[in-house]
Amino acid sequence: MCKENEDFNENNNNGEQGSTFETGSITVKKDGHFIHCLTVIGQIEGHYILPSQNKTTKYEHVIPQLVAIEESKEIDGLLIILNTVGGDVEAGLAIAELLSTMKTPTASLVLGGGHSIGVPLAVSCKRSFIVPTATMTVHPVRMNGTVLGVPQTLSYFEKMQDRIARFVENNSQITADEFRALMMKTGELIMDVGTVLDGEEAVKCGLVDELGGLSDALDYLESVIEEEN
């Protein structure tokens, strides 16, 4: 890391951003512009604390960081790197909604996996990228714990799935009906419903904008920053 990047991150580490080890984020300088990198890994933790052996992304840590990035005059762009199995639906949607409404240039990069609620997170940025070997799993909403066997429960699930489908439609090239079809597909997952898409398939169906890697995402951010300046 160059000396300027070290100084910038050292200053951030002493403020609200926290250290790289605590937040999974870092700010780097590319062609004269500062780009902040934020990782969403493991399971997205919601209102309940997950066991200590789980790799988690805590929404109460991510949300303040996004606010700080949006308000910062020093950060020119934001790169979200995703390798997540999914997690709490409302926590994931909350982060995705914040990302989709940011004025700061944003790009997402799916590595490994962007499953479940990781799908809305991937499409929430201005431009989404996925590497060829990554996969994305689209499936219906699930719930742990006690579930009441009443019609209202099914109605609740349907409303939540509609929220996700509408968000994905508004932030990608896939329609809500096409997304629901992927969500309810049978015959692909063992003892489950849904669809597993690799990088090429995710781009082909319009879920992700572009097949590419780290350099592609950084080049996109750099071009947008240059245009805005």
CATH of the domain at 49: 3.90.226.10
d(CA 71, CA 80): 17
The active-site residue out of 25, 116, 124, 172 is 116
Percent of the chain scoring above 90 in pLDDT: 74
In a domain, 149, yes or no: no
The active-site residue out of 25, 108, 128, 139 is 139
Residue 116 known to be catalytic: yes
In a domain, 164, yes or no: no
Domain of 17, in residue numbers: 3-137+196-228
In a domain, 185, yes or no: no
In a domain, 93, yes or no: yes
pLDDT tens profile 48-82: 899 999 999 999 999 999 999 999 999 999 999 99
In this predicted structure, the answer to whether residue 18 has a pLDDT above a threshold of 70 is no
d(CA 178, CA 83): 24
In a domain, 174, yes or no: no
Yes or no: say if 132 and 200 are a contact pair by the CB < 8 Å rule.
Answer: yes
In a domain, 69, yes or no: yes
In a domain, 7, yes or no: yes
pLDDT tens profile 142-158: 887 788 889 888 898 99
d(CA 10, CA 8): 5
Other beta carbons within 10 angstroms of residue 41's beta carbon come to: 18
Domain count across the chain: 1
Other beta carbons within 10 angstroms of residue 77's beta carbon come to: 24
Residue 139 known to be catalytic: yes
